């Protein structure tokens, strides 16, 4: 397959993702209103799980063919890029996005930073941990951390936030029932995932034609392609005025990505996955931790623009992303 053919197919899949991603955000917002669950909870669970499915498909596929560098690079690279998306969304809103978000996102970002820090430690010390068969003992620990994080967010939502505050578009979706919205949501999600599942293989083909390193391909190209659904869905949510859903989709995707790594480890028969990768991936994970800390600081301080719509958190996120990607390269 020629480079032009790969680029054309990549563009076609991207176009399908853009169209379906816009509809996914729309129906997700309908579900948030009609069910009373709220944008934050729907974003963390429903939206994040769908937009992170390409990472799951890519990771399992890479693990099965014994390409652990691709599997792990996709996970940590996607977490890094997702946080950059959150910063860039600031440019799409009249006032900084971080100033519009509810307190639950501070907890979500903190839990994400904790799981990513645990992942970095697990990468650096992989050879010292026991294994459960061929699965590293750190994988069930990380998966358990994800489940506990979701539970903590659910309890926080129930005790601290008023779900009704999310329903800023009350009455706008009166023509759609909850059941109808769910059916349409699932249909659009299937189309989006099908298109997104083809992006990683196309990215690998493109990288193979250029002779780039496999680990860098996983962190940069594959991660960027599998993060395209998060970009489209979050941008569409912001355009709908569903700020909390956009942020919850991104931060929830990072939580879900860490859980995906445990599934990849099960698929990687032959030994613990983290013991088979370069420790350099810990640098990328720590970069994502630093970007999570920047997001937390922005949520607490509520920054004002320093030039046009540029804020200090956005500048810090961009610089951290560039430096971390350069170190990965």
239 versus 138: the higher-pLDDT residue is 138
Q: How far apart are CA 207 and CA 24, in angstroms?
A: 30
Q: How far apart are CA 80 and CA 73, in angstroms?
A: 10
H-helix or E-strand spanning residue 131: strand 131-132
Interval 134-154 mean pLDDT: 90
Residue 303 gets which letter from DSSP? P
pLDDT tens-digit map of 30-65? 777 777 666 666 666 667 777 777 778 777 877 887
pLDDT tens-digit map of 84-106? 888 888 777 777 788 888 888 89
- From first CA to last CA, the distance across the chain in angstroms is 26
Identify the CA nearest to 155 among candidates 205, 111, 119, 121: 111
Q: Is the pLDDT of residue 171 over 70?
A: no
For residue 71, what are its two tokens?
């599997």
Q: Pick the range with the lowest mean pLDDT from 11-15, 160-164, 318-322.
A: 160-164
For residue 315, what are its two tokens?
């500048």
Domains of the chain by range and CATH? Answer: 3-328 (1.20.1420.30)
Interval 116-121 mean pLDDT: 95
Exposed, middle or buried: residue 328 (CB in 10 Å: 0-12, 13-18, 19+)? buried
Q: Is the pLDDT of residue 165 over 60?
A: no
pLDDT tens-digit map of 241-296? 778 878 888 898 899 889 988 899 998 887 788 888 888 889 999 999 999 999 99
């Amino acid at each position: 397959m020629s480079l032009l053919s790969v680029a054309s197919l990549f563009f076609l899949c991207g176009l399908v993702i853009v169209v379906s991603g816009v509809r996914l955000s729309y129906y997700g917002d309908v579900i948030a209103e009609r069910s009373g669950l709220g944008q934050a909870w729907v974003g963390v669970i429903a939206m994040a799980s769908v937009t992170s499915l390409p990472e799951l498909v890519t990771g399992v596929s890479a693990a099965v063919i014994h390409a652990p560098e691709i599997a792990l690079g996709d996970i940590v690279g996607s977490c890094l890029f997702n946080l950059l998306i959150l910063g860039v969304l600031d440019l799409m809103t009249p006032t900084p996005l971080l100033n519009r978000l509810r307190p639950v996102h501070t907890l979500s970002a903190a839990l994400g930073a904790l799981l990513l820090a645990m992942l970095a430690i697990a990468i650096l010390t992989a050879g010292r941990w026991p294994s459960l068969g061929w699965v590293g003992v750190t994988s069930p620990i990380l998966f358990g951390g994800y489940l506990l994080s979701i539970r903590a967010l659910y309890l926080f939502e129930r005790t601290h936030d008023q779900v009704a505050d999310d329903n800023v578009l009350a009455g706008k979706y009166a023509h759609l029932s909850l059941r109808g919205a769910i059916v349409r949501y699932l249909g659009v999600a299937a189309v989006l995932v099908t298109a997104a599942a083809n992006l990683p293989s196309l990215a690998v083909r493109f990288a193979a034609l250029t002779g780039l390193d496999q680990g860098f391909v996983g962190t940069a190209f594959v991660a960027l392609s599998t993060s395209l659904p998060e970009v489209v869905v979050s941008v569409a949510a912001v355009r709908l005025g569903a700020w909390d859903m956009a942020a919850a989709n991104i931060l929830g995707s990072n939580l879900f990505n860490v859980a995906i790594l445990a599934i990849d480890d099960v698929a990687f028969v032959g030994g613990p996955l983290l013991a088979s990768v370069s420790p350099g991936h810990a640098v990328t994970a720590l970069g994502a931790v630093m970007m999570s800390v920047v997001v937390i600081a922005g949520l607490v301080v509520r920054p004002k623009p320093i030039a046009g719509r540029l804020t200090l958190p956005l500048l810090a996120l961009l610089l951290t992303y560039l430096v971390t990607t350069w170190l990965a390269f």
